[in-house]
């Protein structure tokens, strides 16, 4: 397994390109907004000889979907997204305009994912974890074999996703994090939609937004 990190657009959105030993790749949240950003992403794919097999969307906020239509057209690959995000995607133009940013092309075709479903990309296997709260159809993608979690905007290093946007719900977000993410192995690497990387064990013990739920534990 190989993982390449990109940070795109003014929100420093985290896009991950994860590939197996045969070069089959999944692209998580391709938020490349400018021509230069898109070129950096495509240049990496070409240089590594990767064969994109899927686009995984943790949610449909505009900063996470800028390059989706282009990549789907170029590589003819499925775009996986929870069906509850379709309503979120409809207001992406309004949300982007609020920040004077370009409106993303939302004409791409999505394939629905549901909680506990397994998505395959070559030898890669991702378990879908539905985590409503930041947005109604927000999901995380868990690669158990490699101990990796792409948490989107649900859980960050030292904080949690905001829940004051359309369709957000703080109570649902806390339940999602505590009941579905904090139960994962402590050594699971956490790759959020923005900011620094972390681990489930560290956030379980130190994330101040999860107090009074934090419990001290030994990390082995």
pLDDT above 70: percentage of residues in the chain: 96
pLDDT of residue 216: 55
Q: What is the pLDDT averaged over residues 80-88?
A: 96
pLDDT above 90: residue 11:
yes
Token pair, residue 70, equals 């282009």
Average pLDDT over residues 109-125: 97
Output DSSP code: residue 131.
-
Tokens representing 180 are 């579905």
Of 159, 157, 153, 121, the residue nearest 140 (C-alpha):
153
- Could you report the per-residue pLDDT of 36-63, keeping only the tens digit for each? 999 999 999 999 999 999 999 999 999 9
State both tokens at 209: 């937004």
Residues 6+ positions from 107 with CB-CB distance below 8 Å: 69
pTM of the model: 0.93
At 125-156, the pLDDT tens digits run: 999 999 999 999 999 999 999 999 999 999 99
Peptide bond into 69 cis (omega under 30): no
């Amino acid at each position: 397994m190989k993982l390449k990190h990109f940070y795109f657009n003014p929100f420093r959105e985290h896009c991950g390109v994860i590939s197996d030993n045969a070069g089959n790749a999944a692209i998580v949240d391709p938020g490349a907004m400018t021509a230069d950003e898109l070129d950096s992403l495509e240049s990496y794919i070409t240089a590594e000889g990767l064969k994109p097999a899927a686009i995984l969307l943790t949610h449909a906020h505009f900063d996470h979907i800028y390059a989706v239509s282009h990549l789907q057209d170029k590589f003819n690959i499925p775009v996986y997204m929870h069906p509850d995000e379709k309503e979120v995607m409809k207001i992406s133009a309004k949300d982007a305009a609020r920040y004077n940013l370009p409106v993303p092309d939302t004409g791409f075709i999505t394939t629905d994912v549901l909680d506990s479903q397994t998505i395959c990309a070559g030898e890669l296997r991702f378990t879908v974890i539905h985590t409503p709260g930041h947005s109604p159809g927000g999901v995380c993608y868990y690669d158990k074999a490699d101990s990796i979690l792409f948490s989107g905007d649900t859980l960050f290093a030292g904080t949690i996703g905001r829940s004051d946007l359309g369709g957000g719900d703080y109570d649902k977000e806390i339940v999602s994090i505590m009941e579905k993410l904090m139960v994962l192995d402590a050594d699971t690497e956490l790759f959020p939609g923005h900011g620094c990387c972390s681990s489930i064990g560290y956030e379980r013990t130190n994330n101040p937004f999860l107090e009074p739920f934090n419990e001290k534990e030994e990390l082995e």
